[in-house]
């Protein structure tokens, strides 16, 4: 059956409407939203970007990121779950896994019987993941992994995680020291996760963020992604989809902030008229609208380019352009969403400061988007390097 664009949009809308009261209640009580996965399962949203032959919807990137933008309106925590499960969880398995590995994980993930996550960051390796210390060793029946992964979205609720490590016996300078990527079952012996308490987080109290440790975790040989040593390429490829998912979610945040300020600005009166009639309030509205228009243009353009690149897998120039545009879209939309949420808080005045209202929740939740999947600084260096040309990179 061909992919049905209108049905995905309708299912996403119905999901968001049904989820909203649960999300608001969990946010107020600062606890994990346990209704998210069952509702996403009900509306068949857990395999949006997974190909139909592996049990998913088979959405193209334009439709997939449009769905994530709609989900983003419900909050960055909700959208982050989908980024972890689909963009950086399912996507690298689909792009790099063997057919058997895809059949092992993707249909169950798409059905909602299995949650996915992506474990690259470590306590001492964030902006530079190549400083990771996780290792793997060959064993008779697969690989044995040891290491700690830190700040992992869905890490405490996932059934399987895409994990990265170096060969245990290849020290710095050894040509064999190349990162490999594996799919690790979280129920395996030696795997232990610990979730951050919702109150220990600045925002997104309803979503799960965790660290996990692997102590002699045995991973079957077929759970390797790509060839040994392909891990860095797997990670960077996943981050293109991940960065676009963050940009799309931030577009949703901006759209929601705009809707909120329009409604509130027309309802609230001070100095004898609705506040939306005051010129300085209209200045905020104009800025949020421009945040929206520009972010949407970048997200849609990047999604279209990614569709073209996936249809032409041998075209290295297209792949390079998508990689750059994803970084640009992510950098712009995350900062635009931060600006839009800040302005929405301002328009709401004292109520804006409260997380009982949507602008205050967006502001605290969206801050992380300028940190994960490439910090502002790392993305700016990537963008500047592309402008300056080879030999001018601030870091290799
Ligand atoms: C809520 C949340 C969810 C996350 N989810 C995931 C996940 O699912 N999977 C995952 O693998 N990771 C995840 N992360 C981790 C995230 O990707 C990292 O926090 C991020 O990459 C930054 O790494 P760091 O925290 O170690 O900061 P650091 O790398 O220590 O950076 C600290 C500061 O130094 C700056 N800096 C570092 N190097 C340079 C440089 N060369 N030039 C200029 N400035 C520099 C950074 O930009 C930053 O401002 C998550 C983080 C959070 C907070």
Tens digit of pLDDT for each residue in 54-106?
A: 999 999 999 999 999 999 999 999 999 999 999 999 999 999 999 999 999 99
**Ligand 1 pocket list (CB less than 6 A):** 84, 117-121, 126-127, 151-153, 209, 368, 371-373, 375, 377-378, 381, 395
Ligand 1 mean position, distance from CA 284 (Å): 30
Alpha-carbon torsion (144, 148, 150, 155), positive or negative: positive
The continuous run of DSSP H or E covering 151 comes out as: strand 142-153
Ligand 1 mean position, distance from CA 126 (Å): 4
Angle at which helices 316-348 and 358-366 cross, to 10°: 140
Residue 236: pLDDT above 80? yes
CA 302, chain centre distance (Å): 15
Residue 99: its pLDDT value, please? 97
Residue 396: pLDDT above 90? no
**9-26 pLDDT, tens digit each:** 999 999 999 999 999 999
Ligand 1 mean position, distance from CA 363 (Å): 19
pTM: 0.98
**Phi/psi of residue 120, each to 5°?**
-110, -45
**Token pair for 177:** 């020291």
Percent with pLDDT over 70 in the chain: 100
Residue 328: pLDDT above 80? yes
Question: Is 18 a residue of the active site?
Answer: no
Of the candidates 372, 87, 369, 71, the one whose C-alpha atom is nearest the C-alpha of residue 241 is 87
- Strand, helix or coil for residue 380: helix
Torsion of CA 371, 217, 184, 208, to 10 degrees: -40
- Pick the residue whose CA is nearest to atom 29 on ligand 1: 127
Tell me which of 260, 373, 377, 393 is the catalytic residue. Answer: 373
Residue 291: pLDDT above 80? yes
Of the candidates 153, 154, 143, the one whose C-alpha atom is nearest the C-alpha of residue 184 is 143
Residue 2: its pLDDT value, please? 79
């Amino acid at each position: 059956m061909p992919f049905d664009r209108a049905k995905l949009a309708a299912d996403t809308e119905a999901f968001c409407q049904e989820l909203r009261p649960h999300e608001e209640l969990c946010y107020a009580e600062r606890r994990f939203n346990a209704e998210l996965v069952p509702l996403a399962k009900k509306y068949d949203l857990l395999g949006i970007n997974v190909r139909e032959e592996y049990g998913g919807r088979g959405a193209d990137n334009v439709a997939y990121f449009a769905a994530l933008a709609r989900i983003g309106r419900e909050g960055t925590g909700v959208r982050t779950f989908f980024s972890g499960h689909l963009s950086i969880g399912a996507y690298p398995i689909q792009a790099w896994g063997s057919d058997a590995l895809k059949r092992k994980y993707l249909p169950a993930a798409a059905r909602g019987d299995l949650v996915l996550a992506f474990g690259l960051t470590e306590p001492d390796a964030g902006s530079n993941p190549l400083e990771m210390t996780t290792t793997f060793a060959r064993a008779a029946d697969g690989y044995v992994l040891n290491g700690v992964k830190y700040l992992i979205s869905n890490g405490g609720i996932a059934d399987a995680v895409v994990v990265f490590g170096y060969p245990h016996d290849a020290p710095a300078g050894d040509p064999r020291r190349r990162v490999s990527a594996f799919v690790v079952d979280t129920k395996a012996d030696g795997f232990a996760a610990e979730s951050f308490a919702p109150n220990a987080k600045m925002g997104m109290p309803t979503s799960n963020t965790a660290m996990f440790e692997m102590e002699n975790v045995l991973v079957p040989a077929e759970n390797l992604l790509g060839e040994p040593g392909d891990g860095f390429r797997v990670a960077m490829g996943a981050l293109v989809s991940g960065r676009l998912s963050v940009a799309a979610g931030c577009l949703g945040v901006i759209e929601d902030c705009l809707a909120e300020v329009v409604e509130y600005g027309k309802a609230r009166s001070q100095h004898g008229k609705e506040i939306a009639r005051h010129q300085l309030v209209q200045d905020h509205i104009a800025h949020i609208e421009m945040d929206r228009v520009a972010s949407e243009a970048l997200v849609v353009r990047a999604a279209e380019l990614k569709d073209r690149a996936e249809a032409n897998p041998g075209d290295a120039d297209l792949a390079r352009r998508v990689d750059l545009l994803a970084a640009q879209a992510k950098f712009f939309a995350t900062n635009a969403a931060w600006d839009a949420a800040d302005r929405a808080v301002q328009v709401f005045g004292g109520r804006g400061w409260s997380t009982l209202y949507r602008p205050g929740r967006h502001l605290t939740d969206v801050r992380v988007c300028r940190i994960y999947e490439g910090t502002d600084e790392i993305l700016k260096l990537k963008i500047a390097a592309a402008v300056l040309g080879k030999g001018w990179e601030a870091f290799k």
